Amino acid sequence: MPELSDVEGFKRYLNRHAAGRRIERVDRVDRSMLRTGSVRGLAGCELGSARRHGKWLIAEAGLATVLMHFGMTGLLHWSGNGGARHVHDRVVFVLDGGELAYRDMRKFGGVWIAREARRVDELIGSLGPDALEVDRDDFRELLAPRRGSVKAALMDQTLIAGLGNLLVDEICWRARVHPGLALARIGPERRDRLHACMRAVLRDSIPHGRIPPEPGWLTGARDDRRSGACPRCGTRLRRATIAGRTTVWCPRCQPKR
């Protein structure tokens, strides 16, 4: 789940419940998920409000910076007064007034504590601009030198940060662009349409903190196993691996040519 819209939801969640509270301690329930080892110095600090870059969530805590990545199954969970720990809680920030748990079933994500700007830069310095900050001209300039498929480019975090498999499929579907199409064959019109749809998909999904489970979204029709019908025209959706990821598209709305 965790792509830009999801992490935006986690950001709001952290800021609503946990930001501004004093850190009493940090429990490394699963030691390996605190990727940088020590939590020394955090106790007594105030947890700052979070910002987001791409799929990363970042918050200051005293002189340190806390960074979280949610991998495939990560999320945050707040319990106001001593709620039970969940089996997948990996790192728990025990705060004044409640606990913020970094929960991750599959453990592809993690929590990093950086004490120098250099360390932050090592983690997120290679990311491209956040997808929300990319205007139409930026989009054109970023894509101009790229050679591969639309899907590979939009998924590349060093090009544009925040778009994942589901968002990219959703964007291509709205823009009526086949995700496997080479960028060399995308003219200005379709390129601008991709940009407009990127903005629209983000705008519409961010308030939900996810791609909303509502009619009119491709993701609602893709189903885990078998693809459903195109929400726009009813055509049976196609499914194949493109740029290494399971990709769903409508063969009628998004023709290959």
Enzyme catalytic residues:
2-3, 55, 245
Residue 54 in the binding site for DNA (CB under 7 A): yes
SS3 for the chain, per residue?
CCCHHHHHHHHHHHHHHCCCCEEEEEECCCHHHECCCCCCCCCCCEEEEEEEECCEEEEEECCEEEEEECCCCEEEEEECCCCCCCCCEEEEEEECCEEEEEEECCCCCEEEEECCHHHHHHHHCCCCCEHHHCCHHHHHHHHCCCCCEHHHHHHCCCCCECCCHHHHHHHHHHHCCCCCCEHHHCCHHHHHHHHHHHHHHHHHHHHHCCCCCCCCCHHHHHCCCCCCECCCCCCECEEEEECCEEEEECCCCCCCC
Q: Which of 11, 17, 52, 88 binds DNA (CB under 7 A)?
A: 88
> Which CB sits closer to DNA, 174 or 222?
222
Residues 111 to 170: which contact DNA by CB under 7 A?
145-149, 152, 155, 157, 164-166
For tokens 């598209």, the residue is: 249
Q: Which of 53, 69, 191, 195 binds DNA (CB under 7 A)?
A: 69
Residue 87 in the binding site for DNA (CB under 7 A): yes
Residue 236 in the binding site for DNA (CB under 7 A): no
Residue 19 in the binding site for DNA (CB under 7 A): no
Q: In angstroms, rounded to a whole number, what is the distance separating the alpha carbons of residues 90 and 101?
A: 7
> Which CB sits closer to DNA, 95 or 170?
170
Compute the least distance from the CB of residue 195 to DNA, in Å: 18
Q: Which of 31, 188, 224, 257 binds DNA (CB under 7 A)?
A: 224
Residue 171 in the binding site for DNA (CB under 7 A): no
> Which CB sits closer to DNA, 48 or 109?
109
Compute the least distance from the CB of residue 185 to DNA, in Å: 12
> Which CB sits closer to DNA, 47 or 254?
254
Q: In angstroms, rounded to a whole number, what is the distance separating the alpha carbons of residues 200 and 157?
A: 19
Residue 189 in the binding site for DNA (CB under 7 A): no
Residue 243 in the binding site for DNA (CB under 7 A): yes
Q: How many residues bind DNA (CB under 7 A)?
A: 33
- Interacting residue ranges for DNA, rule: CB under 7 A: 1-3, 54-55, 69, 71-73, 87-88, 105-108, 145-149, 152, 155, 157, 164-166, 224-225, 241, 243-246
